Structure 1
């Protein structure tokens, strides 16, 4: 029968994360326990049962034991030699204090020297789940110092360590000799085969306070072959919190920078804020410094990214100091209101591309406050500014908005089942060159759905808009109006509609069921004309598709109002298959009663009384195959005006294929003014731990590629390898040449729990 003993007053035992404790034995009488007998040592009350020994699984992660907790151990045999003052426990010894456990075949403690020794199948189980195995362990100096032989360890995040010997000093430092470390699982077919990677070092130190592992004379082996040597290497242990230190470097070579290296340094300022420094040194240019700062508050957070650099004018870039800043903040005021800001600025798009800070053409800055009251009410006030980054952008014509005010409210359903909504949207837009506009507008809406006895859905909708404008330089961008230059004007519009649709459903037996649904909507309201004397800030973009066919106003904004009387009609049909697939199609158009061109531009699809036809088709015969298409076709001859096709094939083997085609006409509000006629194709393949991907877009009109990308990656529990290639063929209109950094080749190798390293070529 096992002997249970409880001893008070424990010191510290070695660990890889935080110091556990072990026993300091008080004066005990000689106790010799016959096989099968039980004994209670002094300090235990007779008849009290000791707690059962915990297992590693029962340990609570991250819960260090209190140093004054007693240590309890069980063994098949315990004896105390009073003459020599030695306590000996033998046979399946298991001792624990709090959440830490020591197991061994034999354990002895010499009270004269304060030395404790554990021999045979020694296991040290930590509170966070880490396990250390050793042939023998000797502890001294109140158990703050110790020596281990034949160490093996199972650490956090699947880390594995082995060493010929180990020494613990001061209770915090753990020195290993001839150490091997890896986070890779052993090969199932050949456990003795070298892992994918392992780190060998002459010596290593585990700093328990700093939770850092430091290696000297270290070699990284791949498949047992040494490929990288370094005199010194340091990384956090698996259980380490965030802490300051250098991160893995990135190397590369580009046409503009030449060879370069980036060595990030992470500074954990305190528990709520940190800073990342990204110094970059290149052979062909001056150094560049990037910074990233983050801070959390009880009521919000801020984050900022910035850099300082220099452009020397090569590759048609500007000359002089350059930099950027991207920042944001979010703050809660109370349970209803929050506020925030976004501030973004860069000297040029070329700078962002060259130094890998992201390719952006337009940056925005704003500050706002917004309130939420359930789903019934919302309000927001903000100010906005924008910056165009390309050399062709005229920032004097890009607006800044102050203020921009929006609020809406939805009333509860009335006795008929209808819903009233009301909102207001007011702003002041200013330009250094071009139109400046101040607008106040209000919209009231009503929506009432009703079902008839035949199953048809009738919907009554009404919408009223009232706006007032003051403007200057209406002849400038973006209006270019000849009707007036400076002045003020009011605009009003009311629209009402009766919408009917009837879904006819029939069973197709074992083949599913079918639906045919005609839909007709009558819309009426006063004529609005071409509205060229009204400033246009929010309705410049118009795309007529099946998605907005039945909108009361097909413009997304309010500065352009659709007027007159019209009828919208469409026919939708669908076949739903039992396997989850479907076949669906929709075709429709509009017809305006009055022969009034309204505010629609040429090629919008709505400039004539009879609109273009819009259509949508979707085919999914099985769940892993889908075809989707949207299009717009001329009313008179069916000529294609817009077409967007896409297809997706998802095979169970991990293969996914995508393809697409896009045609859009030239839009007067887009620069450059030209058609888009492109095809695209992509493939993604997963084979075991490997992932492959490729994507390409080709411009049929210009007969050249737009972009080509390819990637390959391998990832398992301990290793990551990734390669990416990107080639952009877009040209800078000002120079008729490719943008800088249009070709990118990236390699990344990651050793999980240790770090990663990257190489980039441009």
Structure 2
């Protein structure tokens, strides 16, 4: 049934009911029993509905439910509607909002269809106790007056108090937050309070600005007792083809080696040009590491600024060109030796399989690298790879591989940077190298019946190529960090880059065994070593490859059941069997908990570290019940005989409330190696009232 009304552009009020009565004398329509009335996108349900056709006033009583266009539902004892259901006077209101939020009030008035004023209001997103619904929820916000603005999507309170378990703990004369259904809304975010040794007591107040549908910003001011205020901000924007993010700050710092005005900029962006190409950038600079630590912007040791373009052509082709600018923030590192790379390019292409089943891969790379003091290098390189797998008559697997490299370039100042080469090598350099290998594997498979299957697989590879001789006269930019493990035992060139080649003739051998269980678990291990015809002086002492016979390398994985996994790899001295590298982890999964432990042993690495590192770690997470979980982690340096880091956390989370506390303690590194890296303590408390905001306390 449709009835005329005085609203403009809203259309008639239409309703259905079990019984409808019309009084011609008073021009009043009365509907009873399962009444449902709607106009536009608003729907009203009630036991009884009366409509005055002269005044356009509609009154609903008995189990009233008013469904808003955004899906939110208001329940009431009595509702009086005017202006085509846009304006309303409501008695005994109860609302079910988005994100599980609930609101109740003694009365309410809505004007213009957008603003609703509530009197003596209670708001919470907590579920009521199913055994005792009259019991106060975990938290609730009570206020004398509250205003819901559906246009601005904000809720504002006056004379408000936050209660926990019915006990008021916080009072404020004014408070506002975004509506639960608001995707984004401008306004102040929850402040963070704390104390640090640099700042003293501090308070951070951030403001969130929803600029438009595609961009937003956050502006924060941090005031402290020991420093002048710091201003920070972040800007984010999404485009149809990509996104950008800018973050920065400016402030002053007293009481450190970096006194004075400081600041930082962290930014990045990425854009898709077409189906093959994308471009991007990152600009990261800071006045000092002390500034970042003091104002809680992290503590990186190196910042990288880059711009790049890269292309993808399925699995066949890839290309990238970029530039790199590094800023070392660690006082132990010389900024004069920090490189500036402009430009650097790389491309590769994988050809389709040939008639024999083999595959060619070709790549090319080039870079120009500059330093304030030390080696300047410009280099081009290319590598052609061919790999042909064959299956023998007994199921043995043969693989033929070959690499051919060409490298050329120009170097200046080689004598000034011994780390990157030796004296006497300035000027043009060029060289080529080729390596060829024949790899044989023979997997023996045996059924273990109901216990799965077993595999024993011997593997032998012979690699040959010209001896390289001394390579110290060539710059070394990409092959400084080297570690011999089972992962590169069968690599044709065990150096990761192109500045160092592995020449001569050698044989690599390993034995792999595995037991595969029906439940998906397995036990798998490998042990092997390498033997060459002549020593290669390219490998430094302690690398494990400095002699004709290499160290032993191996790995082991034990995962017989779904709740246990042990992973380990190691390298043993070829003569004494002493461990030169151990890296092992063990993890236990137990439903509500997981526990992991690790052990690491590494010897000094040439050009990288100067001391032996030996440490173990232990950590785990435990879910105590549906709401509580705790976490523990610790790391101990055996060589220095002291802890490195420790952390403990506890978190409570339910449908409406989050409480988190975290304790982190770090100890200073060996003063002889990292004099500027000091330890510290962090204590963090965070309280979150869902749909309202978070409140944090931080001590450092």
By the TM > 0.5 criterion, same fold?
A: yes
Q: Determine which of 577, 581, 585 is the counterpart of 1:638.
A: 577
Distance 1:521 1:266, change over 3 A: same
Aligned length: 699
Shift of residue 740, structure 1, vs aligned partner: 5.9
CA deviation string 1:286-318 (max 9, x = no partner): 11111101112222221111111111124xx31
Shift of residue 199, structure 1, vs aligned partner: 0.7
CA deviation string 1:240-270 (max 9, x = no partner): 1312111111111111111111110011122
Alpha-carbon distance in 2 for matches of 1:264, 1:741: 28
Check conservation: 1:353, 1:741, Cα contact below 8 A. no
Q: Determine which of 531, 534, 540 is the counterpart of 2:471.
A: 531
Tell me if 1:712 matches 2:654. no
Check conservation: 2:330, 2:676, Cα contact below 8 A. no
Q: Determine which of 480, 489, 505 is the counterpart of 2:429.
A: 489
Q: In structure 1, what is the equivalent of residue 622 of structure 2?
A: 685
Shift of residue 483, structure 1, vs aligned partner: 4.2
Q: In structure 1, what is the equivalent of residue 495 of structure 2?
A: 555
Q: In structure 2, what is the equivalent of residue 694 of structure 1?
A: 632
Tell me if 1:6 matches 2:6. no
Check conservation: 1:308, 1:322, Cα contact below 8 A. yes
Alpha-carbon distance in 2 for matches of 1:369, 1:424: 16
Alpha-carbon distance in 2 for matches of 1:735, 1:499: 43
Shift of residue 91, structure 1, vs aligned partner: 1.5
CA deviation string 1:593-623 (max 9, x = no partner): 12x2231111111111000000101111211
Q: In structure 1, what is the equivalent of residue 414 of structure 2?
A: 474
Tell me if 1:743 matches 2:685. no
CA deviation string 1:483-536 (max 9, x = no partner): 415222111110000001111110111111111011110101000023111110
Bigger shift: residues 735-744 or 541-550:
735-744
Residue ranges of structure 1 left out of the alignment (5+ in a row): 13-66
Q: Determine which of 222, 228, 231 is the counterpart of 1:289.
A: 231
Check conservation: 2:258, 2:291, Cα contact below 8 A. no
3-state SS of 1:510 partner: helix
Q: In structure 1, what is the equivalent of residue 245 of structure 2?
A: 303
3-state SS of 1:313 partner: coil
Tell me if 1:666 matches 2:666. no
Check conservation: 2:13, 2:84, Cα contact below 8 A. no
Tell me if 1:447 matches 2:387. yes
Shift of residue 226, structure 1, vs aligned partner: 1.0
Check conservation: 1:528, 1:598, Cα contact below 8 A. no
Shift of residue 352, structure 1, vs aligned partner: 1.5
Bigger shift: residues 421-430 or 182-191:
182-191
Q: Determine which of 118, 126, 134 is the counterpart of 1:184.
A: 126
Distance 1:365 1:480, change over 3 A: closer
Check conservation: 1:350, 1:739, Cα contact below 8 A. no
Alpha-carbon distance in 1 for matches of 2:689, 2:231: 26
Tell me if 1:585 matches 2:534. no
Q: How does 1:409-488 map to 2 (within 5 A)?
A: 409-477=349-417, 479=419, 481-488=421-428
Alpha-carbon distance in 1 for matches of 2:480, 2:680: 31
Q: How does 1:507-546 map to 2 (within 5 A)?
A: 507-546=447-486
CA deviation string 1:71-117 (max 9, x = no partner): 43111111221111111111211112454321111111123333211
Distance 1:699 1:734, change over 3 A: closer
Distance 1:419 1:744, change over 3 A: same
Q: How does 1:23-172 map to 2 (within 5 A)?
A: 68-172=10-114
Q: In structure 2, what is the equivalent of residue 604 of structure 1?
A: 543
3-state SS of 1:622 partner: coil
CA deviation string 1:22-46 (max 9, x = no partner): xxxxxxxxxxxxxxxxxxxxxxxxx
Distance 1:343 1:618, change over 3 A: same
Alpha-carbon distance in 2 for matches of 1:573, 1:631: 16
Alpha-carbon distance in 2 for matches of 1:7, 1:702: 86
Shift of residue 482, structure 1, vs aligned partner: 3.8
Shift of residue 187, structure 1, vs aligned partner: 1.5
Alpha-carbon distance in 2 for matches of 1:105, 1:10: 24
Distance 1:142 1:8, change over 3 A: closer
Q: In structure 1, what is the equivalent of residue 207 of structure 2?
A: 265
3-state SS of 2:185 partner: coil
Shift of residue 391, structure 1, vs aligned partner: 1.6
Shift of residue 478, structure 1, vs aligned partner: 5.3
Alpha-carbon distance in 2 for matches of 1:726, 1:11: 62
Shift of residue 204, structure 1, vs aligned partner: 0.5
3-state SS of 2:14 partner: strand
Tell me if 1:377 matches 2:373. no
CA deviation string 1:639-666 (max 9, x = no partner): 11000011000102x1111101100001
Alpha-carbon distance in 2 for matches of 1:733, 1:260: 30
CA deviation string 1:412-431 (max 9, x = no partner): 11000000010101111111
Alpha-carbon distance in 2 for matches of 1:568, 1:414: 28
The two structures, once aligned, show a CA RMSD in angstroms of 1.7
Bigger shift: residues 272-281 or 67-76:
67-76
Alpha-carbon distance in 1 for matches of 2:573, 2:490: 18
Scaled by the length of structure 1, the TM-score of the pair is: 0.89
Shift of residue 324, structure 1, vs aligned partner: 0.7
Q: In structure 2, what is the equivalent of residue 406 of structure 1?
A: 346
Distance 1:375 1:70, change over 3 A: farther
Bigger shift: residues 166-175 or 640-649:
166-175
Shift of residue 733, structure 1, vs aligned partner: 4.2
Check conservation: 1:616, 1:629, Cα contact below 8 A. yes
Distance 1:70 1:84, change over 3 A: closer
Residue ranges of structure 2 left out of the alignment (5+ in a row): none
Bigger shift: residues 460-469 or 293-302:
293-302
Alpha-carbon distance in 2 for matches of 1:337, 1:741: 44
Check conservation: 2:623, 2:629, Cα contact below 8 A. yes
3-state SS of 1:506 partner: strand
Alpha-carbon distance in 2 for matches of 1:513, 1:547: 25
Q: In structure 2, what is the equivalent of residue 36 of structure 1?
A: none
Check conservation: 1:435, 1:479, Cα contact below 8 A. no
Alpha-carbon distance in 1 for matches of 2:243, 2:201: 37
Q: In structure 2, what is the equivalent of residue 18 of structure 1?
A: none
Check conservation: 2:370, 2:376, Cα contact below 8 A. yes
Alpha-carbon distance in 1 for matches of 2:63, 2:425: 92
Check conservation: 1:634, 1:641, Cα contact below 8 A. yes
3-state SS of 1:479 partner: helix
Alpha-carbon distance in 2 for matches of 1:619, 1:577: 11
Structure label with greater radius of gyration:
1
Alpha-carbon distance in 1 for matches of 2:403, 2:644: 43
Q: In structure 2, what is the equivalent of residue 388 of structure 1?
A: 328
Shift of residue 70, structure 1, vs aligned partner: 4.5
